[in-house]
A = this chain, B = another copy of it.
Amino acid sequence: MSRVIAMDTHDVRFPTSRFLDGSDAMNPDPDYSAAYLRLRTDAGDGHAGHGFVFTIGRGNDVQVAAIRSLAPYVVGQDAEALLDDLGGFWRRLVHDSQLRWLGPEKGVMHMAVGAVVNALWDLRAKRAGLPLWRLLAGLTPTEIVDLVDFRYLSDALTRDEALKILAAAEPDRADRQAWLLRAGYPAYTTSPGWLGYDDGKLARLCREAVADGFTQIKVKVGADRREDVRRLRIARDTVGPDVRIAVDANQRWEVAEAVDWVAALAPFGVAWVEEPTNPDDVLGHAAIARAIAPIPVATGEHMANRVMAKQFLQAGGVGVLQLDATRVSGVNENIAMLLLAAKFGVPVCPHAGGVGLCEMVQHLAMFDLVAVSGTAEDRMIEYVDHLHEHFAAPVQVRNGRYIAPSVPGSGAEMLMESVERYRFPGQA
């Protein structure tokens, strides 16, 4: 038996705004940051559990404070008891009535719960000697549904329906795992399309994306319609007719405006329209989706919880679900969202980029392929080529595909030197 003996927290901020990496129509100058935690035990096995919430700068200290406030739920606890019942741990934190008031199940406190839950998953995977995706894909259907809270979902997905989805995918798990290990998981790249880049950089990065084997790129839009048309033309002329181009408006539009704007971009061939309007607006997304069909609407990086995901799927407001590793309350809630998406037949293409999101979401997509939806068709993981060097097991993307990770853990572990160097305040 071992105990959790400490939760170390760190306010880590990278000064990305200096180079306009990550710049879009809503976020002109993000400083990619992580409210980071490390759980240590007295097991003496050298394993720690790492987790974080991705933010874009100011307020990262508040996010750290929220994580710290959860220390009493883990520090001093029996580590095996926690790790053996992560479904129970999730419920205890998410349904703590006093903490719940601060959301409920959304925003700073909900994301803090997610970071702690994910740190425990990281520890569990390390103890098992498995990358998280393999750990999850090795659980039985019953073990998987025990991780999920079906409260507020039953009008769209029951526990029994979830079990059936998982059971249907079970017989061919080994085949798909072998395929994944051989072929990798499809990726697309957002690196060319940040709004702050000039035309030359846009064209150069588009060429590089094609040369690197990507079959889809993403371009940020939404600030200026004529500029968007001009930039999309450059992108299309550069990548040719066969590479898919998705556009991402980062919530800039009103409902009617989105429909008009997309009509102006559609002639260039648009793979999906991402975050056309406010991420809470289920009905608005559904109206846009109806108007721009067959171009699908993509959203998810700001989807607060599984109840919002349920509604987006029920209303037809999402055609590509972009779940995020640190927006909701951890792996457990992401599994609920994967199951909901499978029920509605909507592909999941996780949001990544940021700090460490690529490292984390790949595990969710690969678990989905092996054990939930059972397919990688129409699915790909976002890839952005920055800040990977700060992680203990950086993603490997080759020929436009994620190589399935083999290093034990969830991918969240950052290098100690990076945590120290970019600790805020104190960056150069």
Contact = CB atoms under 8 A, between A and B. Distances in A.
A76 interface: no
Given A62-B62, A98-B56, A154-B254, A283 B315 contact: yes
Given A97-B30, A315-B283, A304 B106 contact: yes
Interface stretch (A127-135, A274-282, A377-385): A274-282
A63 interface: yes
Interface string A205-244: 0000000000000000000000000000000000000000
A287 interface: yes
A62 B99 CA distance: 10
Interface stretch (A21-29, A136-144, A341-349): A21-29
Q: Interface residues of A toward B: which range?
A: 35 or more
A104 B302 contact: yes
A109 B315 CA distance: 28
Contacts of A279: 104
B65 A155 contact: no
Interface string A94-107: 00111111111111
Nearest to A311: B283
A105 to B, nearest CB: 7
Contact of A282 (B255, B256, B282): B282
Interface in A49-92: 55-59, 61-63, 65-66, 69
A269 interface: no
Contacts of A30: 97-98, 101
A31 interface: yes
A168 interface: no
A375 interface: no
B107 A28 contact: no
Nearest to A327: B101
Contacts of A151: 254, 278
A29 B106 CA distance: 21
A109 B106 contact: no
A180 B112 CA distance: 45
Interface in A301-324: 302, 304-305, 307-308, 310-311, 314-315
A141 B42 CA distance: 65
Nearest to A283: B311
A142 B96 CA distance: 44
Number of chain copies forming the complex: 2
A31 B101 CA distance: 11
A155 B254 contact: yes
A108 B105 contact: no
A196 interface: no
Given A277-B152, A314-B283, A109 B109 contact: no
A110 interface: yes
Given A55-B101, A101-B59, A108 B281 contact: no
A284 interface: yes
A311 B308 CA distance: 12
B254 A59 contact: no
Contacts of A111: 102
Contact of A57 (B29, B65, B98, B104): B98
Nearest to A17: B98
In the A-B complex, the 7 residue pairs with the closest CB atoms? A107-B107, A108-B108, A57-B98, A58-B98, A152-B278, A155-B255, A65-B65
Given A104-B278, A107-B107, 18 more contacts: A27-B101, A55-B98, A56-B97, A58-B69, A58-B96, A59-B99, A62-B62, A66-B108, A103-B107, A104-B302, A106-B106, A106-B304, A152-B277, A152-B284, A281-B310, A282-B282, A282-B283, A282-B311
